[in-house]
Amino acid sequence: MPRLEEVLDRLAVIPNLQVSQNVALSRYTRFGIGGPAAVFAETPAWEAFVAALEVAGAAGFTPVVIGGGTNLIVSDEGFDGIVLRFTGRRIRRRGRRIIVEAGADLSDLVEFSIDRGLKGLETLAGIPGTVGAAIYGNAGAYGHSIGERVQMVRFCDGRSVRALGKDECEFSYRESVFKRHKHWIILSADLLMEEGESGELRGRAKEILRGRNRKFPATMKCAGSIFKNLLLDQLPPAVAAELPAEAVREGKVAAAWFLEQAGAKGLSKGDIHVADYHANLVYNQGAGTAAQLCGLIEEMKARVRARFGLELEEEVQYVGFEKRRIP
């Protein structure tokens, strides 16, 4: 297999691809944590991005592809491989259809739709990250998710650019077909919207944004919620019987409820803390490490496991941890 240095040389000649070495990934994660990537390459041009994927794949390397880094935990040692970042962020309108590149900020997409009186994304206001990552994890809030609006997704399977229709994307709660085929890298998507009134849509988005900013301030070094909520119909009967009515919303139970009962609020390891007002919010107060963050997450999971016999599942993804599975 070619050495990483040889692959670096091949990447360096791809037009419109910016290639660097030993780049601190802490600069690209909202936690502000993570060691260096041996090779880091980014581009706003999907042709260059696909070429980089092909070069890495042909050499036997599996690159890590990142977006806004809002949902990443990178090890303190970093990643001894290739990290690719697609920064294409064009957003266009065609009637009720929006065509958006995967590197666009989700917040920009929400604003774009509201400004044009297109309804269907306003409940996603304030969710950080890129559109590609949002589609990958079927991001959502307040009973709605981005998958509801997706009509087609263009992606690279490592060899060619392909497209999938809505049903083929297999969207479900925080899931998509792309989570099961991690080498399928999203490039762009077509979203089908409804007609709406910009003023009403903006009012709804502002209301949601105020609530989100109270829980997850933009300056806080966090990933939002660490754990997925749980589906009521998948809980053991004995656990479901303990739930107060107010803990259940639209068939889901907030992971924060289980964490609070298990005493997770206010836990800390070094500079990594669980918020004292939200048991599913973990943040870096400043000098936290990935080791501390992972240790705290494991303690939170162990407490819920001991109290309820449930295994919480992370929303975050792990990079550079040999023994960890990326959820």
160 is catalytic: no
Euclidean distance between CA atoms 287 and 295, whole angstroms: 15
Mean pLDDT of 202-215: 91
- pLDDT of residue 327 exceeding 70: no
Closest CA to 30 of 107, 102, 128: 128
C-beta pairs of 159-166 under 8 Å, 24+ apart in sequence: 159/54, 159/57, 161/46, 161/50, 161/187
- pLDDT of residue 2 exceeding 80: no
Fold (topology level) of 91-196: 3.30.465
Inter-residue contact 142 to 211 (CB < 8 Å): no
Give the pLDDT of residue 324.
45
- pLDDT of residue 27 exceeding 80: yes
**Annotated catalytic residue within 75, 225, 303, 314:** 225
315 is catalytic: yes
**Annotated catalytic residue within 42, 101, 314, 315:** 315
Pick among 3.90.78.10, 1.10.10.10, 2.60.120.380, 3.40.50.1820: CATH of 217-319:
3.90.78.10
pTM of the model: 0.89
> What residue segments make up the domains of the chain, in order of their start?
4-86, 91-196, 217-319
Closest CA to 254 of 267, 270, 235: 235
**Annotated catalytic residue within 85, 174, 202, 303:** 174
Give residue-wise pLDDT tens across range 65-115. Answer: 999 898 899 999 999 999 999 999 999 999 999 999 999 999 999 999 999
Inter-residue contact 193 to 120 (CB < 8 Å): yes
Q: Which two tokens stand for residue 280?
A: 């599913």
174 is catalytic: yes
Pick among 3.40.50.920, 1.20.1070.10, 3.30.43.10, 3.40.640.10: CATH of 4-86:
3.30.43.10
Q: CB neighbours of 131 closer than 8 A, spacing ≥ 6?
A: 100, 101, 102, 103, 104, 105, 106, 109, 146, 189
